[in-house]
Structure 1
Amino acid sequence: MESIPTEIWANVCSFLAINDDEDEKENCICIDVDSQSSNGSSDGSDEGSDDDDESDDEHQEECEDYRAYLDVTESFSKKRPDNLTPNTDVCNFRLVCKRFSWIGAAFTHKNLSFRLQDKDVATLKEISQSTSLARHVRGLRWYGTDLATSPKFDEQVYYDDFPSEEDHPYSVYSDLYDQQLRLGQDNKDFDFFKGLFSRLGRLQHIDLLLGGRLRGWQQGKGLEADHLQRFTSAHNFQKLDTILKAAASAGLTLESFGAGVFYWKFFDREPQYLERLFSPLHHLRRLELVAATENGDHDAEMRALFETGILKSLLEPLTELRSLVVQLPQMHDEETIVAPARLSDIMIPDRKLPHLERLSLHGFECTAEELLSLLRLHKDTLRALCLGRARITTSYWETVVAVIRDELDLERACICENLFQAKPVDGRDAPAGALWLHRLTIDEDYIHADEQHGRWSRIIGTDNYCCRRDDFNAYPISDNSIERLS
């Protein structure tokens, strides 16, 4: 220890502060310190338990590694600099010696993000074929574009439509597009993922994000933050099929899974086929599904599909969920105000998920009584709630929000996008509740209260596509907000 140069220890730093707390989402440790989009770590997630078939010797070996790590970090905790880059710090820590490299791999290789391109495929294969590295991998996040509905731009259109992309030249975009197209042909992607999953025996978390990542747009933390309003049209669901089929074929049992934005017709297949795809998800603790539609789709067709109960039947076996996000598509004809699904098409009435802590639902219709019954059923465990594009057919949102505020023990709650309620039978203007909710807003440019659409009143409307913490388009429901209105 004494012989190690001080300048090396000066860079060990943020590594000393890394923790594996289940709810910690801020630490992001990358393998490639020069890129956040290729083979880096995604946002933090819970590590979970070891596989039952791991030997006692290996477990003991890991404990000794961790104790060695603690001995090192405690010895130099007082030398931690104030402003260091975690990516560089951890990589520098691993460069100190072979032993430190082995210890640090548990942090640098825990969560990996990638695109379907040659260099990332080669790196993932190398990691999965190394027993000392593969055993540390817990999560994968795939950033991709569904090429079937995202035709390749020519150079002029690319720069016309994306003038801010000077840091991402057309040549880079074109090459990446061609690689993804080639690797997706003839089931090459399925064969790759099946082999990869079979070698990553401790893999627990998978996220599939489809959209503008191909052009290097900013990566957020979690699906709700990733899918901004630019994703208003659908993408195909071929990649979602690929990842689920590969997981099922490899016999994976996942704890966490997220997918979006994918085309809503993913659910328009034989129930038996979809049940096989969802078989690796039966023990999930977190599920996030963000679906989209395309111009020209028929609202009635979408509503009829979800009324069959296909989504509800796929979610029914998932009794261990702690976090559930279901965002259904925006309907194109708002004059009719037809929600994509009823609440009872998504969740079984009167059926409690005993561990549910976080619930985010967008694109549903129900009575106020049905929604309140669901929330009260889970009030003992529910701590985070997000509602958007929701329509109630009885009562007013003021009543619902009052119950959310007064009866639920929430740490975080918000209302996103449009809320609709039935217009009073006697034709009067929208109730005072509309103004009451309207007064929670911050920026008038993003809100339009009391807009009339046939027999419905739009209570709150925003251009925001998602619920993001500390965003001016996310509307908090808290005691402090209510007190400011009194």
Structure 2
Amino acid sequence: MSEPQGQTPQQTDDTIMSEREPPKKLTLLDLPPEILHQVCAHLPLKSIRSFRLTNRFLGDIGACHALPELVFYLHTTDFAALRSIASHPIYPRFVRSLVYGCDLLPSPRLSLKQYIADCRRMEKRRVKMHARHACDEANRPPKPQAEVRESYKEYKRVHQAQEEIMRDERDYEILREVVGKMTNLKEVMVSSDFEFRVGSGTSSSDGRNGLMKSDALRNCRTPFDKLDCLTQLDGEKGQEGVRHLRALLMAVKEAGIELKSLCAGLIHWSFFNEALGNFGFHSMGNLLANLTRFELLVLPGPSQDPEDFQRADAIEMNNMSIDVMEEIYRCQGLMRTGVIRNLVKGMPNLEILSIGFMDHAEDNDFIFPARLQDVVPLNHTFPNLESLRLEGLETERQELTDFVVRHKDSLMRLELRDMRLVTTSWRKLLPELRYELKTELMEEVSIYGMALGMGEEDGDQELEEWFMGDPEDHGATELATKVQKFFMNPNVSDCPLSRENMEPIPDDDLMDEDILDHPLEGLMPDHELAELILGGMQFPGGGHPFQDPFDDPSFEAPGDWLD
């Protein structure tokens, strides 16, 4: 083809290009779905939610990455959302983690008069809290009574729906239905009493900070927020977390899902009583054998509302204390059977292990619900164990050292909290651990809460007691910081614990701030009340309240303890 006269080949090409449309600019919609999935895999959850709002196509792709962790409660709207997700042809495959919050509206249902009084009490508490932190919310006027009455209608509706779900066991039915469709589910968490929700931590996919938290739970809104927090939420009294954990595990077993991570707390100790014939860990078969992360926080006694103490007289407080102690002894008897130890022994791939018992023996710091040997197999080695957290246990220096040192080749984080060495000393344990573990090569070694022990030096066989604080509550004490430096800094040579700096638990850590602001009225003097509570208590098996009756060969537990 001949070129037009008077034009060079280059001019001809330019003329042809000028006659065409300008090149199209590429957008996200022009990228292959595989690349879009790779992009979403590196976005934070907040950005993925924005990404989904672009259009339906990108919304479907983003949804696959926006639902890796589902947080839900025993509530009609949450169960409806679970069913909607499970019925989608794509979404269920991308759910890897389920987080079940145990908040419930307490039963029985409040009357209108009780609800209004509860609202006013909660408002006063909120104002006082905001005033303490100099927030503008402190000046917010109380809600008009008409608005509170309208809120009560919503409260009644939610409470009635909750009772119907539990009565008809629809929570079990719905969880079996939805979990069976989540074929890639690997992580399960049951959170009662705000466990796993506060303090420093990471998402479930990263274990760099020891005890793990759920990012989704830390600031998560609940379906009860529509009540504007006008009444308090709670778990089932005496059965905290039991129903929720049982329902979730039953669904996991029926679906045949092998979990990688299981976190549960607070869980009432009765959950582990196989004699009751209820579904529990013992019914799971080998579905927990591949766990790499197991975190468990047990409630060994009945939970007590601080306001119950505020309203109680001396006799009622005595009876509540007796109830707590009796139930802790029943928990002790069950733990002695090794029900948790045998469970843990069947998890050879553990990388993160956390076992704790919430301390409710506030009148007596020497009654612990379990020993170290009750909950972990002392002669067993977990070759991949990186993080170990123990709480609310009693043991001996030699037992603890042997178990921890056995894992020194893999262990990177160690946390001890509210621990008692029965006849041995912390002042010997700390230097021993530092030397054997070479802790300066680890990421973290910390001790919080109570550290109770017994002097081992000649002429010094007296009680040891230090309080290290709580970084997630009122903050760690200066002594706890010194202990961390002792473990992590090889230039610190002297053990920070001594007879001179022993410090008992401060009284205000044992009581709710609201109680301190409103002293108990009409009670006998403190020293007489203490004598009544500690001296008048009937401990199972008799004997001194500071003595463990299970160590007494003449002790026989009542026949109904494990019923």
Report if aligned partners of 1:150, 1:235 keep a CA contact under 8 Å in 2: no
Name the aligned partner's letter for residue 308 of structure 1. T
Query: Which residue of 1 is the match for residue 519 of structure 2?
Result: none
**Residues in 2 aligned to 1:90 and 1:251: alpha-carbon distance in whole angstroms:** 31
The yes-or-no answer on 1:144 pairing with 2:96 is: no
Look up the match of 1:380.
409
| The one of 472, 479, 486 aligned to 2:476 | 472
Change (3 A) 1:94 1:333: closer
Q: Does residue 1:343 correspond to 2:372, yes or no?
A: yes
Instruction: Tell me the alpha carbon deviations over residues 371-405 of structure 1, each in whole angstroms, 9 at most, x when there is no partner.
Output: 00011001111111111121113442133223444
Name which of 383, 390, 395 aligns with 2:419. Answer: 390
Residue 159 in structure 1 maps to residue 119 in structure 2: yes
Pairing 1:76-115 to 2, within 5 Å after superposition: 89-115=47-73
Note if contact 1:350-1:374 (Cα within 8 Å) is conserved in structure 2: yes
Aligned AA (2:331): M
Match of 1:284 in 2: 291
SS state at 1:270 partner: helix
> What per-residue deviation string (whole Å, max 9, x for no partner) do you get for residues 293-329 of structure 1?
2151323322221111111112221111111111113
Residues 66 and 417 of structure 1: CA distance in aligned 2, closer, same or farther (over 3 Å): farther
How far residue 95 of structure 1 moved from its aligned partner, in angstroms, is: 2.6
Q: Contact 1:256–1:286 (CA<8 Å) still a contact in 2?
A: yes
Q: Which one-letter code corresponds to 1:203 in the other structure?
A: L
Does residue 187 of structure 2 align to residue 205 of structure 1? yes
Deviation at 1:234, TM superposition (A): 5.3
Other-structure match for 1:40: none
Partners in 1 of 2:430 and 2:189 — Cα distance?
A: 32
Q: Specify whether residues 427 and 484 from structure 1 end up closer, same or farther in structure 2 by C-alpha distance, changes over 3 A only.
A: closer
TM (norm. structure 1) is 0.68
Distance in 2 (CA, whole Å) between partners of 1:323 and 1:200 is 24
Distance change >3 Å, CA 178–CA 321, structure 1 → 2: farther
Q: Which moved more, 1:256-265 or 1:419-428?
A: 419-428
SS of residue paired to 2:90: helix
Q: Tell me the amino acid that sits aligned with residue 199 of structure 1.
A: K
State the alpha-carbon separation in 2 of the partners of residues 73 and 336 from structure 1: 48
**Given residue 193 of structure 1, which amino acid in structure 2 is its aligned partner?**
L
Kindly indicate whether the alpha-carbon contact (under 8 Å) linking 2:199 and 2:472 is maintained by their aligned counterparts in 1: no
Contact 2:354 2:390 (8 Å CA) reproduced: yes
Question: 1:395-418 CA distances to partner (integer Å, 9 max, x unpaired)?
Answer: 421332234444244212221211
Report the Cα distance in structure 1 between the residues aligned to 2:448 and 2:156, rounded to whole angstroms: 36
Deviation at 1:240, TM superposition (A): 1.8
Distance in structure 1 (CA, Å) of the matches to 2:176 and 2:58: 31
Q: Give the Cα separation in 1 of the matches to 2:414 and 2:234.
A: 23
In the alignment, is the contact (CA less than 8 A) between 2:198 and 2:472 conserved in 1? no
Q: Tell me, yes or no, if structure 1 residue 119 matches structure 2 residue 119.
A: no
Asked whether 1:184 is paired with 2:144, we answer no
Q: 1:262 to 1:158 in 2, by over 3 A?
A: farther
Q: Distance in 1 between matches of 2:40 and 2:283?
A: 47
Residues 421, 457 of structure 1: 8 Å contact kept = yes
Deviation at 1:259? 1.2
**Helix, strand or coil at the partner of 1:457:** strand
| Correspondence 1:130 to 2:84 | no
Contact 1:235 1:261 in 2 (8 A): no
Question: Structure 1 residue 264 and structure 2 residue 269: aligned?
Answer: yes
Residue 470 of structure 1, CA deviation: 11
Q: 2:345 aligns with which of 295, 316, 322?
A: 316
Structure 2 vs 1, CA of residues 359 and 259 (structure 1 numbering), >3 Å: closer, same or farther? Answer: same
Change in 2 beyond 3 A, CA 1:144/1:333: closer
The change in CA–CA distance for 1:482 and 1:393 in structure 2 (over 3 A counts) is farther
- Taking structure 2 as the reference length, what is the TM-score of the superposition? 0.60
**Percent identity (aligned):** 20
| Aligned equivalent of 1:413, options 434, 445, 460 | 445
Change (3 A) 1:403 1:201: same
Aligned residues: 387
Q: What is the DSSP-based 3-state SS (H/G/I as helix, E as strand, rest coil) of the residue aligned with 2:274?
A: coil
Residue 256 of structure 1: CA displacement?
A: 0.8
Q: Per the alignment, in what secondary structure is the counterpart of residue 337 of structure 1?
A: coil
CA distance in 2, matches of 1:267, 1:424: 36
Q: Distance in 2 between matches of 1:347 and 1:72?
A: 40
Give the Å deviation of 1:185.
2.1
Partner of 1:238, secondary structure, is helix
Rg bigger for which structure?
Answer: 2
**Matches of 2:117 and 2:200 in 1, distance apart?**
26
Helix, strand or coil for the counterpart of 1:378? coil
Gaps of 5+ in 1: 9-63, 78-85, 431-454
Deviation at 1:136, TM superposition (A): 0.8
What is the one-letter code of the residue matched to 1:421? Answer: G
Residues 410, 174 of structure 1: CA spacing in aligned structure 2 closer, same or farther, 3 A cutoff? farther
TM-superposed CA distance for 1:160, in Å, is: 4.5
Q: Which sections of structure 2, spanning at least 5 residues, go unmatched? A: 1-23, 128-141, 203-210, 219-232, 303-319, 495-563
Preserved CA contact (<8 Å) 1:360 1:387: yes
The root-mean-square deviation of aligned C-alpha atoms, in Å, is: 4.0
**3-state SS in 2 of match to 1:350:** coil
Deviation at 1:264, TM superposition (A): 1.2
Structure-2 separation of matches of 1:219 and 1:257: 19
Assess, with a 3 A threshold, how the Cα gap between structure 1 residues 425 and 268 changes in structure 2: closer, same or farther: farther
SS at match of 1:190: helix
Per the alignment, do residues 88 and 127 of structure 1 end up closer, same or farther by CA in structure 2, a change over 3 Å counting? same
Instruction: Output the CA distance in 1 between the equivalents of 2:392 and 2:293.
Output: 19
- Looking at structure 2, the residues matched to 150 and 485 of structure 1 have their Cα atoms a distance apart, in angstroms, of 56
Residue in 2 that maps onto 1:303: 332
**Contact residue 455 and residue 463 of structure 2 kept, 8 A:** yes
